[in-house]
C-alpha cells in the first residue's frame, strides 16, 4: 500500500516538472504569429502621364462619288473592271451617241445659216450708212436695217450657245469618273436605258488613300478634359500632330498614326456624345469603309502624377479609393487618393500621394493600419 502511494506521488511531481519546463520554453521562444508580415512596396516616380481615351469608331471614305448619267440613252459599253482603281476623267460607260451627233450636225448648219444672214445684214448696214451720209435714204430706213443686223448678231450668238450645249451633251455620252479612287460594282449592264441625273447610281467610287474614322466621345469627358487643360493640370496635345493610334477589332495594331481633323460643334441630344473625326493614311487600303476599329486618342499629358498597380488600390464601403503606405519605422498607414484613368494595368493617381511615399502592393490582405511589417521592393 505504501509503495503504491509513493509511485503515485512521483508521477505527479514529474508531470508538474514537465509542465513547468514547457512553460519556460514558450516564454523564451517568440510565437510565429508575432513575426512582422512580409509586404512588397514600390517607390513612387513623379511623371507626366499620357491621357489616352480609347473609343470604337467606324471607317468612312475620305471622298465618295456616285456615278450618274447626265444625258438619256442606251448603255453601249462598260470600260472598267469592278473593284479596280480608277483615275479621274477615265471613261466608265459609253451611252449611244448617235442622236447627239445628229443634233450637233443640225445645230452647226443652223449656226452657218445665221452667220450668213448676219454677214449679209452687216454689209447692207455699211451701204446704208454711206447712203445716209449722202442723204439718199431716211434715218428711219437706216435704223430699221441696223436693228435687223443687231438681231442677226444675237441669233448667231444663240446658235453658237445651242451648238455648245449640244456638243457638251455629246461629250456626256462618255460617262467619266468624277474622282480618282476604287470603284465598286456596276449597277447597270450594256443595253440598259438610263436617264439624266437618275436616282440610281451607275456605280460608286471611293477614295481610300486617306480615310476618316468617326468616333463618339462623351460630352462629360470632353468638358472634364477642357477644365483640366484650363487649370494647367493637363498639357493639351489632341489638336496637334499624329496622336491617334489605330487598332483593328482583332487587336492588331494598324501601322499608321492618325490625327484629329475636327470635333463636332454640337452634342447629340439623344446620346450626349460629340462626334470626333480622325483622318488616317491608308496607302495599302487595309481600312475599308464601314469597318469598325479602335482609336486610342492621346489627348494630353497629365502633370505630376503617379502610376500605381491596380492591386494596390483599395476601396472603402463608400467606394472611396485609398492605398496602404509604409511609415519611416515600417508601420502601415492609410492614405486616401484621387484616381484618373487606367493606363494598362495601372491606375493614374492624381492627388493624395507624394514622391517620398512607399506604397504597399502585395500582402495587403494580411495587414491592418498600424501593423509592423517587413517590407521588400516589389518587382
What does each of the 379 residues of the chain score in pLDDT, given as a tens digit?
Answer: 444 444 344 444 444 444 444 444 444 444 445 789 999 999 998 877 877 788 899 999 999 999 999 999 999 999 999 999 999 999 999 999 999 999 999 999 999 999 999 999 999 999 999 998 988 889 999 999 999 999 999 999 999 999 999 999 999 999 999 999 999 999 999 999 999 999 999 999 999 999 999 988 877 777 766 665 565 555 555 555 678 899 998 989 999 999 888 777 678 778 888 888 899 999 999 999 999 999 988 877 777 789 999 999 999 999 999 999 999 999 999 999 998 878 778 898 988 999 899 999 999 999 999 999 999 999 8
CA distances from 297 to 31, 256, 351 (A): 56, 13, 24
Distance of CA 73 to the CA centre of its chain: 42
| Fold (CATH) for 69-200 | OB fold (Dihydrolipoamide Acetyltransferase, E2P) (2.40.50)
* Domain formed by 37-49+304-377, architecture: Beta Barrel (2.40)
Looking at the chain, which residues constitute the CATH 2.40.30.170 domain(s)?
A: 52-62+207-302
* Domain formed by 52-62+207-302, architecture: Beta Barrel (2.40)
Looking at the chain, which residues constitute the CATH 2.40.50.100 domain(s)?
A: 69-200
Amino acid at each position: 500500500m505504501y509503495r503504491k502511494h509513493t509511485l503515485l506521488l512521483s508521477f505527479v511531481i514529474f508531470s508538474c516538472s514537465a509542465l513547468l519546463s514547457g512553460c519556460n520554453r514558450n516564454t523564451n521562444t517568440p510565437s510565429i504569429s508575432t513575426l512582422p508580415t512580409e509586404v512588397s512596396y514600390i517607390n513612387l516616380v513623379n511623371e507626366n502621364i499620357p491621357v489616352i481615351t480609347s473609343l470604337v469608331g467606324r471607317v468612312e471614305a475620305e471622298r465618295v462619288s456616285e456615278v450618274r448619267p447626265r444625258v438619256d440613252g442606251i448603255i453601249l459599253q462598260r470600260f472598267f473592271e469592278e473593284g479596280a482603281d480608277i483615275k479621274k476623267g477615265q471613261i466608265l460607260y459609253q451611252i449611244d451617241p448617235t442622236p447627239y451627233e445628229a443634233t450637233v450636225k443640225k445645230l452647226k448648219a443652223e449656226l452657218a445659216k445665221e452667220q450668213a444672214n448676219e454677214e449679209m445684214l452687216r454689209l447692207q448696214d455699211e451701204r446704208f450708212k454711206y447712203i445716209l451720209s449722202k442723204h439718199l435714204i431716211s434715218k428711219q430706213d437706216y435704223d430699221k436695217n441696223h436693228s435687223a443686223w443687231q438681231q442677226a448678231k444675237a441669233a448667231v450668238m444663240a446658235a453658237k450657245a445651242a451648238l455648245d450645249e449640244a456638243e457638251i451633251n455629246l461629250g456626256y455620252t462618255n460617262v467619266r469618273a468624277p474622282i480618282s479612287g476604287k470603284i465598286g460594282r456596276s449597277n447597270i449592264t450594256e443595253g440598259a436605258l438610263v436617264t439624266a441625273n437618275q436616282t440610281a447610281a451607275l456605280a460608286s467610287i471611293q477614295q481610300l488613300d486617306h480615310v476618316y474614322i468617326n468616333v463618339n466621345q462623351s460630352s462629360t469627358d470632353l468638358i472634364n478634359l477642357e477644365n483640366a487643360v484650363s487649370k494647367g493640370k493637363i498639357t493639351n496635345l489632341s489638336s496637334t500632330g499624329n496622336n491617334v493610334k489605330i487598332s483593328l477589332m482583332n487587336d492588331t495594331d494598324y501601322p499608321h498614326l492618325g490625327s484629329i481633323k475636327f470635333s463636332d460643334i454640337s452634342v447629340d441630344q439623344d446620346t450626349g456624345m460629340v462626334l470626333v473625326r480622325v483622318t488616317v493614311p491608308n496607302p495599302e487600303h487595309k481600312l475599308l469603309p464601314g469597318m469598325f476599329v479602335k482609336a486610342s486618342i492621346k489627348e494630353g499629358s497629365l502633370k505630376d502624377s503617379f502610376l500605381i498597380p491596380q492591386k494596390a488600390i483599395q476601396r472603402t464601403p463608400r467606394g472611396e479609393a485609398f492605398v496602404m503606405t509604409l511609415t519611416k519605422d515600417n508601420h502601415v498607414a492609410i492614405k486616401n487618393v484621387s484616381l484618373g484613368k487606367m493606363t494598362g494595368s495601372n491606375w493614374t493617381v492624381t492627388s493624395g500621394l507624394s514622391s517620398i511615399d512607399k506604397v504597399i502592393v502585395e500582402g495587403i490582405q494580411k495587414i491592418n493600419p498600424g501593423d509592423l511589417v517587413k517590407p521588400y521592393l516589389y518587382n
